[in-house]
Amino acid sequence: MITLRPAASRGHANHGWLDSRHTFSFADYHDSHWMGFRNLRVINDDRVAPGMGFGTHPHRDMEIITYVLSGELEHKDSMGNGRVIRAGEVQYMAAGSGVRHSEFNHSQNEEVHFLQIWIHPDETGLAPRYADRSLGTAPKGSFQLVASKSGRSGSFAINQDADLWLGLLGKGNHFTHELKAGRHAWLQVATGAVLIGGVPLAEGDGAAISEVKAVDLVAEKESQLLLFDLN
């Protein structure tokens, strides 16, 4: 079963300096039908104006993954980390028992566009952690494992039985992801357009996938995809 989440139906908040699209209920946007999917709680598609950003604020007991699509995002946190995350780079922060951080557009001239993902942890009160890595050299036509429970294949080891794959596909590329019994998937089109089981999805569209043995994808043009394999 595939349930589509069209981009146009997402929540939308425009604060001038921040233009944000919410796949699931977030802040002032509430939709009882879209409170998350399995342990996936948030996918926010954010565009932040030059020099603007989120001042220091707290998080707790959430696995937070940020993927920058364009521009530069400056991160600072109470663990002592300070980093500029650029296009093609991904950041992981386990908020655990509590962390404070800020996120600003590092550029004074260009907006920064990124996806921020929250996943519920399988245990609360853990020590906060931080990591980042570049995926800019990942080969086209493939999916790279970004996060997993075990940290296998060099992925971020997160506090949940969830795999996050990043797909960088060229036009016509085909990819099949098999789902084990009892597993579910969420597909988010970050950029581009794909067919999933013959159903078209465009930039910003998402799909909840359950009770299937495999996710079959064909890229209609160059695309960046996030695929979550969830328990």
What is the SS3 assignment for 73-142?
Answer: EEEEECCCCEEEEECCEEEEEECCCCEEEEEEECCCCCCEEEEEEEECCCCCCCCCEEEEEECCCCCCCE
- State the amino acid at position 51 in one-letter form: G
For domain 11-134, the CATH class is mainly beta
Same CATH fold, 142-230 and 11-134?
A: yes
| CATH code matching the domain that covers 142-230, chosen among 3.40.50.12780, 3.40.50.300, 1.10.1200.10, 2.60.120.10 | 2.60.120.10
Report the C-alpha gap between 46 and 71 in whole angstroms. 12
* This prediction's pTM: 0.96
Query: Which pLDDT score, from 0 to 100, does residue 142 have?
Result: 84
Torsions phi, psi for 153 (to 5 deg): 55, 35
Q: Where are the domains positioned within the chain?
A: 11-134, 142-230
Per-residue pLDDT of the chain (231 residues), as tens digits, is 899 999 999 999 999 999 999 999 999 999 999 999 999 999 999 999 999 999 999 999 999 999 999 999 999 999 999 999 999 999 999 999 999 999 999 999 999 999 999 999 999 999 999 999 998 677 788 899 999 999 999 999 999 999 999 999 999 999 999 999 999 999 999 999 999 988 999 999 999 999 999 999 999 999 999 999 999
